[in-house]
Structure 1
Amino acid sequence: DLSAVRDVLGPGIMYTANTIIAFVYVVPMMIHISPQLTLLAFVPLLVLSFAINQLSKLIHHRSQKVQEKLSDISSCAQENFSGIRVIKSFVREDHEIEKFRLLNLDYVRLNMDAVRVRGIMMSSVVLTIGLSVAVLLWQGGRLVMTGDITLGQFTAFNFYLAVLIWPMIALGWVINIFQRGSASMKRMNEIFKTVPRIIDAPSVKPIKTIEGKIEIRNLTFQYNGSDPVLKNIHVTIRAGMTLGIVGHTGSGKSTLVNLIPRLYEIPKNTIFIDDVEIHDIPINVLRSHIGMVPQDTFLFSDTILNNILFGVAHTDTGKAVWAADVAQLKSNVEDFPEKYDTVIGERGITLSGGQKQRLAIARAVIREPKILILDDALSSVDTHTEDEILTRLKALMKDRTTMLVSHRIQTVKQADWIILLSEGAIIEQGTHEQLVALDGIYADMYQRQLLEEEIAEI
């Protein structure tokens, strides 16, 4: 798409200017010699311009189809490279090769459709110019014989016409360039003109800092008109308090924590930060005070150091080493030949699942946020490493509000308050001891997980 637009801004504009200048200077000279011959020369061009206008619409449509199919091919290739381990694990190499082959065949077919139309247009241009020259030679010869124009004038007229031949031929090519560029620009404008759905409200207040108190009042949330994912959530988290969130898969845990940094738009008067309605807090201020480790860890194809420093403005290596130590990643990094300058590949492909999560934790910790959100951030580490990380985080979380999401109750049992979600609603809440004493679903989950750990140790 960028290449097609660049062609418009380069050769497209250059040849268009060349054609305009040639017509402005040459056509008056031709009319001066013989208006009759000039009319005969340009009548076929009027017919040609109509044909080109019709064909250009078809070229635009087919060029857009070609660009869309090329995008599909690029996406397929990228997915195959990124997911090569999954493809090999499921022995799907032949399937993906065949899928890629079919996409390319479609691309060739669409290109051939577009080429046919371009061929017709270019052939029409050359044919029209040829007919125009033939008519001029016939009629011009007659005018010379009758003495209406001299042989020198006729020669000059043909010279002027020759000057216009290349601009006329280039006209079809330029139109093709503009049509391809137009189709590509349309696709690019879909991105450029996309307006963020979540923006600062007109009522936003000049807030600069956040202490970390979170209050959720009767929150009901749904995605794009679907069934509610969260129902009547009501909980208060004091500044510096740790909230544990547990529940089965699909209970709404990740959705709840994703609403705190306003990654999704939420109903008004449902979430308050420091007693201020969340829509009244500038988004940049809100998110700059939050350190988040999402469930789906995303790392950049860069060095370990740059991934840790991603969320901060400074480049303090000592701080990065401290954050890696808190996340229990330091010893692993020290074992790498390049240490913190090790490039981890696309999405951290060279790291294990546990190392990815610990690197994401270090990236959040180094910001020293007022609100720390760990969304199942310890699911890929062993229990021993998890205990070490939680021990190191405990000192960090002392003065920070923490939302700790996990499937393992062992991870959240030290939290100041715990809520148990089921089908988007809070069904039990309290401290670990209170919930165990309640002998409900939480207690049942806890007993089963303890039994699973005991069996694993046998």
Structure 2
Amino acid sequence: MVVILWLGGLRVIDGALTLGAFVAFNAYLIRMSRPMMMLGRMVDEHQRAVASLARIEVVLKERKQVLDLTDDSKGRAGEIEFRNVAFSYNGSLALKDVTVKVPAGSTLAVVGRVGSGKSTLARLIPRLIHADEGDVLIDGVPIEEIPISEIRGMIGYVPQDTFLFSDTIRENVLLGDSGSDGSDVDRATKVSKLAQDLDVMSDGLDTIVGERGVTLSGGQKQRAALARAVIREPKILILDDAMSSVDTRTEEAILKELREVMSQRTTILIAHRISTVRDADHIIVMDEGRIIEQGDHDSLVDQDGIYAEMFRRQHLAAELDKF
């Protein structure tokens, strides 16, 4: 534009171009610039859309890797067993020779350092991934022989990375069980201690959470996801560090409410806080994909291993916080 003004000005001074023609030319140029910019954006968006469509087509054409072998839909109690399970991510060992049994209605707690394989173990149960070696069984039946729809229908799963849709809190909770009514939502939010936050929200359950729950705090998002898992009354409840963003006082209140829920179903409880898992029926400690310690809270403290070290460190931190 600067070059055009400079050259045009020279032409006007030389008399080769009238001032009116020069002004008209610039007016037309300015009016054309915006449509040209919009056309450029449309071309750019079209190219990106074509590239995205190509990737989507690859996903749609991808054959399902985890296949259902049989269709046995009889009722199940919820007993879980891992037998010599191994799993690798792109050649990197995540689980090795994991063997543990979780009786129906009991709680198994899983603790360990970051990257020890805790979440990988949990993801095997709903068949989000498939073991490279060994077997995962529900009520003595290999999970490969149970339809995915049945397995996932009996599981309430709260992963580390909480996902909420851009909708109301009510709709996000009801996503766990669309057949539930208002009283079920109230009960689920009471268990997850989300109800106390809803009281101070102007729209309560009808509050829009935004994309991925952006309008909520980390703790509120986790409690909404917990309510979504609890509302369906699953036979198996998997909590993968589901209260990491919640303060210890609220966590204690949630655990108190959850004990009644967990006593009626098989629970896999993954956490970093010892206070979260100490009341579990059985606790396993994982390190580098292996179970290195197991027992209840008291026996693990007596073993004076990794669990005892974590317990002493966290207990000391809690005592210091009181001052």
Same fold (TM over 0.5): yes
2:62 to 185, 194, 208: 194
Structure whose residues are more often strand by fraction: 2
1:297–1:356: 8 Å Cα contact kept in structure 2?
yes
| Kept in 2: contact 1:329–1:358 (CA 8 A) | yes
Could you report, residue by residue, the CA deviation over 1:1-22 in whole angstroms, capped at 9, with x for unpaired residues?
xxxxxxxxxxxxxxxxxxxxxx
Distance 1:200 1:221 in 2: 20
Question: How many positions carry a matched residue from both structures?
Answer: 281
Q: Which structure is larger by alpha-carbon Rg, 1 or 2?
A: 1
Q: Does 1:70 align with 2:48?
A: yes
Distance apart, 1:190 and its partner CA: 2.0
What is the TM-score with the length of structure 2 in the denominator? Answer: 0.83
Partner of 1:426: 291
* Counterpart in the other structure of 1:288: 153
Q: 2:78 aligns with which of 212, 228, 237?
A: 212
Residue 88 of structure 2: aligned partner: 222
CA distances 1:362-411 after superposition (whole Å, capped 9, x unpaired): 00000100000000011111111101100100001111000000011110
Write the mapping of 1:230-379 to structure 2, written as runs, cut at 5 A: 230-267=95-132, 269-379=134-244
Distance 1:268 1:276 in 2: 16
| Aligned-partner residue type, residue 264 of structure 2 | D
TM-score (norm: length of structure 1): 0.59
Q: CA deviation at 1:344?
A: 0.6
Gap runs ≥5 in structure 2: 1-42
Task: Provide Cα deviations, 1:87-115, integer angstroms capped at 9, x if missing partner.
Answer: xxxxxxxxxxxxxxxxxxxxxxxxxxxxx
**SS state of the match for residue 270, structure 1?**
strand
- On the 8 A contact 1:215/1:275 being kept in 2, the answer is yes
SS at match of 2:119: helix
> Do residues 437 (structure 1) and 302 (structure 2) align?
yes
Q: Identical aligned pairs, as a percentage?
A: 50
Q: In the aligned structure 2, how far is the partner of 1:185 from the partner of 1:221? A: 32
Distance, in Å, in 1 between the alignment partners of 2:237 and 2:288 is 25
> CA offsets, 1:253-306, max 9 Å, x none?
111101110101224651110000110011000000000000010100000000
Alignment of 1:112-131 (within 5 A): none
Q: Which residue of 1 aligns with 2:314?
A: 449
Q: Which amino acid aligns with 1:213?
A: E
Instruction: Please give the secondary structure, in 2, of the residue aligned with 1:70.
Output: helix
Question: Runs of 5+ in structure 1 lacking a partner?
Answer: 1-64, 72-179
Q: Is the 8 A contact 1:209 1:285 kept in 2?
A: no
Task: Give, as a single letter, the amino acid of the residue that structure 2 aligns with 1:217.
Answer: R
Alignment partner, residue 20 of structure 1: none
Higher helix share: 1
- The structure-2 alpha-carbon separation of the partners of 1:451 and 1:188, relative to structure 1 and needing over 3 Å to count, comes to closer
Distance in 2 separating the partners of 1:69 and 1:427 = 52
Q: C-alpha offsets along residues 139-195 of structure 1, whole Å, 9 cap, x if unaligned? A: xxxxxxxxxxxxxxxxxxxxxxxxxxxxxxxxxxxxxxxxx8xx8865553233122
Question: Could you tell me which amino acid in structure 1 is paired with residue 57 of structure 2?
Answer: N
